[in-house]
Chains A and B, each alone.
Chain A
Amino acid sequence: MARYGMAVDTRLCVGCMDCVVACKTENRVPEGFDRDWIAYETAGTFPALRQEIRSERCNHCDNPPCVTCCPTGASHVDGFGQLVLVTHNACIGCKACLASCPYDARFVHPQGYADKCTFCVHRVKEGLDPACVSVCPTHCFTFGDLDDPNSAISRKLASRRSHPLLPAAGTRPRIFFLD
């Protein structure tokens, strides 16, 4: 079974938010909410500065606290690609998962269920990349099966230094930011 993950090349990303807009239209994310977002970090004193720009979203963790804390089983690790997904009609909107996520990746949809990035599971099942990946003008994303050593993402991660977010949280996130 595949184990989908993502590599984001911070050298290429320009923080244009195309990923945010594409997710919004693809998934009809309601106004005021977003499933992905841009983080900018700047360090130093002018003009000796360093900047990292990251397109962030649910990390589809290998050890997902949102799943272990869910009282109803709505948040689950799906049989397809080991994606972390939410069964809408099983969710009671208790927000335990919102509190448990160290990445602040979830929100309560106006219709009452916890919502977040699905890695565009509906597209991936059709052999497409997630909307954010296929729209990116800088081609900064590589999406694919982390368990397949020959996948583009495995080869990318083998060839470049990268870091996940908050590794100390013990969540074993599946999104890697290429340095």
Chain B
Amino acid sequence: MDSLSRRRFLRISAATIAATSATAGVARLAGRAAGEGGPARGLHTVPTFCDICFWKCGAMAYVEDGKLWKIEGNPADPLSEGRLCPRGTGGVGAHFDNDRLKAPLIRRKRRGDDEWVQVTWDEALGHVAEKMQAIKATYGPEAVALFSHGLGGTFFKHTIRAYGSPNIAAPSFAQCRGPRDVGFHLTFGEEVGSPERTDIRNARCLVLIGSHLGENMHNTQVQEFAAAMDAGASLIVVDPRFSIAAGKAKHYLPIRPGTDLALVLAWMHVLVTEGLYDREYVAQHGFGFEAFAAELAPYTPEWAYPETGIEPAVIRETAREMARFRPATLVHPGRHATWYGDDAQRSRAVALLNALLGSWGRKGGFYAPTSMDVPGYPYPDYPAAPLGKVDNPGGRYPFALETLTTGIREATLTGQPYPIKGWFTYATNLVTALPNEAETIRAIQNLDLLVVVDVIPGEMAGWADVVLPEATYLERYDDLNVELFREPFVALRQPVVPPPHDQQPNWWIARELAKKLGLESYYPWKTIEEYLEFRLTKAGLSFAELKQKGILRGRPQPIYYEDGLTPEFPTASGKIDFYSTALRDKGFDPVPKYTKPADPPSGMFRLLFGRAPVHSFGRTQSNPILHEMMEENELWLNADVAARMGLADGRYVRLRNEDGVVSNRVKLKATQRIRPDCVYMVHGFGQRAVRLRRSLGRGASDAQLTTRYKTDPLMGGTGMNVNFVAVEAEA
């Protein structure tokens, strides 16, 4: 038995001296006026929506005597149903984090030297505008790229487009969900989207392939996962690690890392050869089924056994289990899908498996999301960008649906197809989000300007020329959230309390920069309230009502074929592409084929990484409340292997990768809950940003060890689970 003792849990952080508890933070802010018209005394609530991850759950913030107290889910919100996840519940800590950015900064010395001068907003934005105009004069406006994550980037995208650059990217495509969305797009003509259109709550059989719901805390999905478990759904979990979800599974398949596609092909082989698939659905909606079925012939469970380590009888039994409950069998598409470089084809195989089960468009499978019709603001047209986008020259990755961050990085390094001289980042830490940080830092050193907008001074801010401190989500308006979901709704983020220092909201920063760039005409509105009210009025909605309720729900629409929704498949064939002519025409496999992954070199382990429920990426480790919930990550190593290596549970180790990169020290979790050929850690730790005193040097960074990556030839995603590490005892 390994159990987490109460004492261990209560251990007070060594960083306590530097840290501020939430309560101490409240005391320090005493006397400051309440945000938006709340009373100075007594309790009031402000509806808003969360920004601790990208899920955007509706929330009610509680303010007592003018001070932020706590935040709960907004019961009117269909995403959260009134219950935030632990990160959202602890979101108030972001406001109190005494290490957050407080004022605009300009770099004083060499890039990366971390020496700064505090300046006014006018000076900071004037400096940025001057540099941007110089880049435009020499290289054209296309030479400035924006990297942005989340809804808060809306106005920066607007300013950068108005300036004349089309180079706007987010790591959420090429470093995360991109391959999945491409795989589904090539099959059904539509993407899975975010929030995912997975009808988990109605699934009678749920299949998770490497997806660790419960540790991965996307609120709606976890709530629906629990509801499905409570209703007795059959759960099949495929993971090299005995995840939290695995502990609830009827079937746990401890797969050899990198062989998921072999398992999915074998499952499809069983469904087709045993005639268990949805014949009617496939006949009605499918294209190229015969050619597809012929391609599956070699992929027997016996063939898959030595690849995956999963016994043929188990492969057959689980395939039959899926068939038993179809179409209410959901093979979850996952989210972070950039694993091995063949990820779009693996995701396409998952899409095809769902197609065989008839789950796309069906209750308990994938619903068709709906949204409200809220028109955008009528801005002037953006200037033409004659150089085109820089990230994917010649359509090298023909199925890239979005701009490639790593393509922009490459152009910044090579100057081809044209030079990139300015980077603007919003709420994304490219040093850890992109694989091979050395490449990222070399690219940064090629720049004339690096501007970082963020709430916290992460690694990226350390490399910046100009750092612009943003107000947290609890202190600002944002654009409306017009969500694509089970039912249409629109949500408002509004200030709960004022920013404690000289921070500003993103819309203000983007607009003031635009003014300095002579782009006033792109910001015809005077206040953000005016902008929001304009959009809502056009949609026939009341801004006053939305401010009061936080959420306005629209009329539910049919979301399943069985409710009268007309099936539409905007693919090459207009049907579900079991055989993809689009792929064939570009020289790719029209039906996914399996390629064997490399074995770990002797004495090394495949490095796997994932999520913890109390942290979002590397963005929350400095939040005093969430920090306390998990101060550092652990290295999961199979207990028998650890015993053979003489490494005791709880001691510190370091990891060395094939390129000689050595990690920060990390505590060993010697556990039965993982295969012997891989190690696992939670992403986002081992931070090196010196101004984040709580998170500095706590745990190890998988990103630092991800020096190698394998690019997906279909869409340019970067497979990152291709690094091997040795585990070395810490002296």
Contacts and interface: CB of A to CB of B under 8 A. Distances in A.
Contacts of B638: 46
A140 B226 CA distance: 8
A42 interface: yes
9 contacts: A11-B229, A16-B613, A17-B86, A18-B85, A21-B86, A31-B23, A47-B242, A138-B222, A138-B226
B385 interface: no
Contacts of A53: 244, 247
A138 B247 contact: no
A156 to B, nearest CB: 11
Contacts of B676: 46
Given A17-B86, A18-B86, A24-B625, 11 more contacts: A14-B215, A14-B225, A14-B245, A25-B69, A31-B12, A37-B9, A39-B4, A42-B247, A51-B242, A137-B85, A139-B227
Of B21, B215, B222, B675, the most chain A CB neighbours within 10 A belong to B21
Interface size class of A (residues with CB under 8 A): 35 or more
B89 A135 contact: yes
A40 B6 CA distance: 11
Interface string B3-37: 11011011011001001011110000000000000
A111 B468 CA distance: 39
A28 B1 CA distance: 33
A16 B71 contact: no
A14 B244 contact: yes
A158 interface: no
Interface string A25-55: 1101011111001111111111101110100
Contacts of B7: 104
B624 interface: yes
Interface in B66-89: 69-73, 82-86, 89
Contacts of B207: none
Interface in B193-251: 213-215, 217, 219, 222-223, 225-227, 229-230, 242, 244-248
B19 to A, nearest CB: 7
B543 to A, nearest CB: 30
Given A32-B16, A47-B252, A50-B247, A25 B214 contact: no
A16 B614 CA distance: 7
Given A42-B673, A43-B1, A32 B12 contact: yes
Given A30-B21, A46-B242, A135-B72, A16 B6 contact: no
A17 B226 contact: no
B615 to A, nearest CB: 11
Nearest to A15: B244
A41 B3 contact: yes
A25 B624 contact: no
Interface string B171-201: 0000000000000000000000000000000
B90 interface: yes
Contact of B10 (A18, A26, A33): A33
Nearest to A139: B226
Contacts of A21: 86, 89-90, 614, 625-626, 629
Nearest to B213: A14
B84 A34 contact: no
Contact of A42 (B1, B13, B89, B613): B1
Interface in B674-726: 674-676
A178 to B, nearest CB: 11
Given A25-B625, A30-B23, A46 B229 contact: no
B254 interface: yes
B445 interface: no
Contacts of A9: 230
Of A14, A17, A31, A104, the most chain B CB neighbours within 10 A belong to A14
Contacts of B73: 135
A18 B73 CA distance: 12
A138 B7 CA distance: 26
A15 B2 CA distance: 15
A135 B672 contact: no
A38 B4 contact: yes
A25 B87 CA distance: 12
B21 A17 contact: no
Of A11, A46, A107, the most chain B CB neighbours within 10 A belong to A46
Nearest to B221: A137
Interface of B: 1-4, 6-7, 9-10, 12-13, 16, 19, 21-24, 69-73, 82-86, 89-90, 92, 213-215, 217, 219, 222-223, 225-227, 229-230, 242, 244-248, 252, 254, 613-614, 624-626, 628-629, 638, 671-676
Contacts of A136: 83
A14 B222 contact: yes
B89 A18 contact: yes
A12 interface: yes
A34 B9 contact: yes
A168 to B, nearest CB: 18
B613 A17 contact: yes
Contacts of A37: 6, 9-10
B217 to A, nearest CB: 6
Contact of B219 (A17, A26, A137, A139): A137
A74 interface: no
A9 B248 CA distance: 12
Nearest to B674: A46
B675 to A, nearest CB: 7
A135 B85 CA distance: 8
Given A12-B226, A17-B613, A31-B624, A42 B85 contact: no
B1 A25 contact: no
Interface in A45-95: 45-47, 49-51, 53
List of 5 A-B pairs having minimum Cβ-Cβ separation, nearest first? A14-B214, A31-B21, A51-B247, A138-B226, A16-B613
A114 interface: no
A9 B232 CA distance: 13
A25 B628 CA distance: 12
Contacts of A45: 672
Nearest to A18: B86
Contact of B84 (A12, A49, A135): A135
B2 A42 contact: yes
A38 B24 CA distance: 25
Contacts of A107: 10
B172 to A, nearest CB: 22
A150 B24 CA distance: 44
Contacts of A104: 6-7
B229 A25 contact: no
A11 B230 contact: yes
B150 to A, nearest CB: 21
A17 B83 contact: no
A22 interface: yes
A17 to B, nearest CB: 5
A138 B225 CA distance: 8
